[in-house]
Structure 1
């Protein structure tokens, strides 16, 4: 496939996504009270996390060398990194129901990428409240840390936030796709999603077993800790931090292929 064809395909998919997104947002706006309440609930949940750090650091000046504002930066970083999986890939939570009911078969007969088609149907707009709170937390922490504000640093921040988001997307893609292979996929998704709560903590506060587990088994440490070190600790950046964009792309690709492989094996029999 030549470059022109690739550009045409990208333009085609962006056009399709725009139309689907507009329709989805229109349907959500017809239930404004639900949107307002759910968004408020999400923001309130994140405020509780913010306050918990404040209470914790009233008793401890630092945790294994991490100051209050560094922990806040890590917390905000994790919130922003988790936003794409919530806004753009939230339909993963519906996958197992579609597979069990047999309704997933409708996605198999359209002349577009099945993964794109399925994910594009849902945009969780309330995740934007989490994004705003996460950005605000990063800015607040940044103002109290000795981090320069330069174009290079901001570009690094954007790149490593993108890299961090790929890991949680990959984790949820892979866990959702287990529904093509086993009936107990719901438990897998819930367990994997709950691991995100560990993303807001630095991996070096855990013992050796959990550091290894959160780095090489379930890579939650890459959702915030390793990528954020490029900004927070520029004088002592580990190799895993520098490599996180490449590792993130690799994990996302593996999760995508696992998802597609399961979708191709689906025969539409439902439960």
Structure 2
């Protein structure tokens, strides 16, 4: 098998994932409680929409089921970030303790090795709830289903996932230069809650910020329009896959730049 090829990394990831899942399953109570907690957190979001729309039939032209569609879309899109990039939350601890140095001496890609070490399995509970919400709202809106729509959904869900992963990677990487980087990562993560709302409900200033500075509009709003409102798709929706790939690549470069400059404790 070609070293550093896709097959090589998939094989390595399979072995790392198996070991990580074995260690997690040894603490089943913690896994079950965490999964239930995540499901109830998402249920609270579902209920908040229901309560809101009991008083308002629509918000700036967006109905209840369309808002639920955005909510479910964002949950499904965020699942890969939850499952595959959760180790970003521990990055600052590894950097400040000096333990990050152990990742620098492996003959594989540093970013891949670090991120693949943790798989947050409780994110699958979020995926299940997100899919349920998406399917429920899909049927209520009356959207059709064809192979082309399935292809669009797959492409634009991946697009949304890449955007959120890029935001998290970039925020986590600041720990290589900033001591209190936790607050940047936490802030970026909190902003993702706004992804479940259509950008049109915000003021022009926040629309600009959420599109070009903190691009949370590309987590659900722009990608979902391709399926949700196919007759009024803006150019940014069609460009979102390219924007997502570029943004993720830049975040990867930033992360690797910081990692390559790492010298151990106190860097």
**SS of residue paired to 1:147:** coil
Is 1:41 the counterpart of 2:37? The answer is yes
**SS of residue paired to 1:266:** coil
Partner residue of 2:119 out of 104, 118, 123: 123
TM-score (normalizing by structure 2): 0.98
Q: Distance in 2 between matches of 1:9 and 1:154?
A: 29
Q: Distance in 2 between matches of 1:5 and 1:101?
A: 35
**SS of residue paired to 1:190:** helix
Count of residue correspondences: 267
Displacement of 1:208: 0.2
Q: Deviations over 1:153-212 (max 9, x none)?
A: 011011100000111000000000000011011111011100011000000000100000
Is 1:205 the counterpart of 2:201? The answer is yes
Is 1:251 the counterpart of 2:236? The answer is no
Q: Which runs of 5+ in 2 are unaligned?
A: none
Q: Residue 20 of structure 1 aligns with which residue?
A: 16
Q: Distance in 2 between matches of 1:33 and 1:117?
A: 28
Structure 1 ranges of 4+ moved more than 4 A? none
Q: Which runs of 5+ in 1 are unaligned?
A: none
Displacement of 1:147: 1.2
Q: Residue 143 of structure 1 aligns with which residue?
A: 139
Q: Residue 158 of structure 1 aligns with which residue?
A: 154
Greater alpha carbon shift after TM alignment, 144-153 vs 111-120: 144-153
Alignment of 1:85-100 (within 5 A): 85-100=81-96
Q: Distance in 1 between matches of 2:56 and 2:169?
A: 38
Displacement of 1:242: 0.5
Displacement of 1:5: 5.0
TM-score (normalizing by structure 1): 0.97
Displacement of 1:100: 0.1
Displacement of 1:9: 1.3
Q: Deviations over 1:216-248 (max 9, x none)?
A: 000011000000000111001000001111100
Q: Residue 238 of structure 2 aligns with which residue?
A: 242
Aligned Cα root-mean-square deviation (Å): 1.1
